[in-house]
Amino acid sequence: MPAKPYLSPEQVRELAHLADLPLARGREDVIMPTLAAWIDDANALSRKMSAAQHQELVPATVFTHAPANEAEQ
């Protein structure tokens, strides 16, 4: 069963433009099922991570950077 489209072809084209991604004319319908699957999966993950048992989770990756100057060490 194909994924239901959440966006119109015009919206797909606008998103591509905003992301500075080239999109050939007529490709909107080809991209639509992938975008719909991403939206479905992102919403499922959002619902899962919003559940009470996940409220205290923190990222496993900690980002650090070198000090900008010696005073920050």
CB atoms within 10 A of CB 12: 20
pTM for the model stands at: 0.51
pLDDT at 72: 58
Q: What does the alpha-carbon distance between residue 20 and residue 51 come to, in Å, rounded to a whole number?
A: 35
Q: What is the DSSP string of the chain?
A: -PPPPSS-HHHHHHHHHHTT----TT-HHHHHHHHHHHHHHHHHHHHHHHSGGGTT---S-------SSGGG-
**Average pLDDT, integer, range 38-65:** 85
Assess whether pLDDT exceeds 60 at residue 40.
yes
Q: What is the pLDDT of residue 47?
A: 92
Query: Amino acid identity of 44?
Result: A
* Band of pLDDT at residue 24, cut at 50, 70 and 90: very high
